[in-house]
Amino acid sequence: MPATTDVADSRPSLTSHRLGGYMKRFEKTLVEYNIEARGIQRVEENERQKLSWVACLQVFLLWVSINLAANNITLGMLGPTVYELSFRDSALCSVFGIFVGSLAAAWAATWGPISGNRTLVFGRYAMGWWPSKIIVLLNIVQMIGYCLIDCVVGGQILSAVSPNYSMSVAVGIVVVAIITWCIATFGIKIFHFYERFAFLPQLVVICILFGVSANKYDLAAPSAGDSSTIAGNRLSFFSICLSAAITYAPLAADFFVYYPPNTPKFISFGLTFLGLTLSFTMTFLVGIGLASGVATNTAYSDAWDAGAGALIVEGFSPVNGFGKFCSVIVALGLISNTIPPTYSSGIDFQILGRYAELIPRIVWNTIGVIIYTVCALAGQSHLSEIFTNFLALMGYWVAIWLAILLEERYMFRRAGYNWAAWNDPSKLPIGAAAFVAFLVGWAGAIICMAQVWYIGPLAKLVGEYGGDMGNYVGFSWAGLVYPLLRYIELRYVGR
């Protein structure tokens, strides 16, 4: 009996023919205006660009531009303010957390040149056709959440810069969202060109922020709480910083699918890792420093009460009017961080099904921008809660997914992949082993997670507020069960 789903049916319906015709004409119009029309389709080897020194340097500059952003400064602030850690503890936890998380993102980036497939299309080779859609949905939520945070931080900064907060946060949110949409819409070429130079003003103003605010940092205050509570808070802050870096893994390959397959891995892996760790370290440390002064400096405390963005503006206060100019540069720098998830979300929407694939990326990009702009307007007063609850939660599924991908690659795909099968369900795994392992990993993450709204039974054993171990337990539990499940799947199903 023939399958009736839109996935298996090789004879498209009249509706899909019509929709496809409309979209082809629309895509042709996009190309005429130099807007990238390609979605999730694999980039064939003859379509790749040549590997030049500029292209190599671009890998490094891309990640630096993305991460020299105010949202990472505000994330660093959580160490002293939310987890009540000292400057030293916060700095060490953040640096080691991003080191581990960046390794995962750098590994994922290598698959763009090798496969020519977008990151979550590559994920189909482990998760299968249907289970991979769960990953896609989670990643869309994750990317929209990051964009929401960027818009709120940008809105707070622009509002704080205006005389007596005369400009509302909502206006700043809309400004960041509109500029992001304009750049992401034109596609990968404009995106790469923008990120090639966007880091320069950000680097300058963040260095200025270090210089003018460093004398207000409190480097001597100890971490609060007894030894077990401090240990739990260190673990939780380490986890949230790791999550900030590891969540780049599901989109890291998207930006390098036009690179040739012979791109050396030390370029795609090494420069991605270097760009991420350097930019994360710089932004986290300045955020930790600013937040360390909240307890001892009245102006910093008042600014923190108005929002994390306002604290950044207060950090520039010693240079008066020039500081406000620098604050505007910092706010606009958030666009560099918002473009990549906006761009990738348009692609990921297409992975949800055949009909979704027919709708051009630009349409999905627009829908994504509308969603996160509305959510940012609604959640603008709860930024620290969004950070602490959302970021760590998103890190759990990425860690579990990475465990499955790593074992699939190094245990079951040592002979390589059939890249031409990216869109053929009959040649991909059925995904049962990956799906069960994913659920097992989630079970481990749930009992070991520590969030404001829920602390797992094992996480409760660490200090007064618990210690977040969800990433590590989820990763290890999924890694333990997947090999056996995958062996059974290959034995009885054959793919």
Q: What is the pLDDT of residue 356?
A: 85
User: Does the pLDDT of residue 425 top 80, yes or no?
Assistant: yes
pLDDT interval class at 391 (50, 70, 90): low
Q: What is the pLDDT of residue 25?
A: 60
pLDDT interval class at 144 (50, 70, 90): confident
pLDDT interval class at 387 (50, 70, 90): low
- 462-485 tens-digit pLDDT: 888 889 999 999 999 999 999 999
Q: What is the pLDDT of residue 392?
A: 59
Average pLDDT over residues 343-366: 87
CB 23 within 8 A of CB 355: no
CB 282 within 8 A of CB 211: no
- 83-114 tens-digit pLDDT: 999 999 999 999 999 999 999 999 999 999 99
This prediction has a pTM of 0.89
Q: What is the pLDDT of residue 385?
A: 66
For all residues of the chain together, what is the average pLDDT? 88
User: Does the pLDDT of residue 47 top 80, yes or no?
Assistant: yes
- 109-126 tens-digit pLDDT: 999 999 999 999 999 999
CB 331 within 8 A of CB 158: yes
Q: What is the pLDDT of residue 6?
A: 43
Average pLDDT over residues 217-221: 92
User: Does the pLDDT of residue 166 top 50, yes or no?
Assistant: yes
CA dihedral sign, ordered 13, 15, 17, 20: negative
CB 280 within 8 A of CB 245: yes
Query: What is the DSSP track for 425-485?
Result: GGGS---HHHHHHHHHHHHHHHHH-B-SS-B-TTGGGSTTT----HHHHHHHHHHHHHHHH
User: Does the pLDDT of residue 33 top 60, yes or no?
Assistant: no
Q: DSSP state, 116? A: -
Compute the distance between CA of residue 126 and CA of residue 298 in angstroms, rounded to an integer. Answer: 53
Average pLDDT over residues 455-460: 91
pLDDT interval class at 29 (50, 70, 90): low
Two tokens, residue 280: 């994360």
Domains, the chain: 14-394 (1.10.4160.10)
Q: What is the pLDDT of residue 177?
A: 92
- 371-383 tens-digit pLDDT: 999 988 887 777 6
- 64-73 tens-digit pLDDT: 999 999 889 9
User: Does the pLDDT of residue 10 top 60, yes or no?
Assistant: no
User: Does the pLDDT of residue 395 top 90, yes or no?
Assistant: no
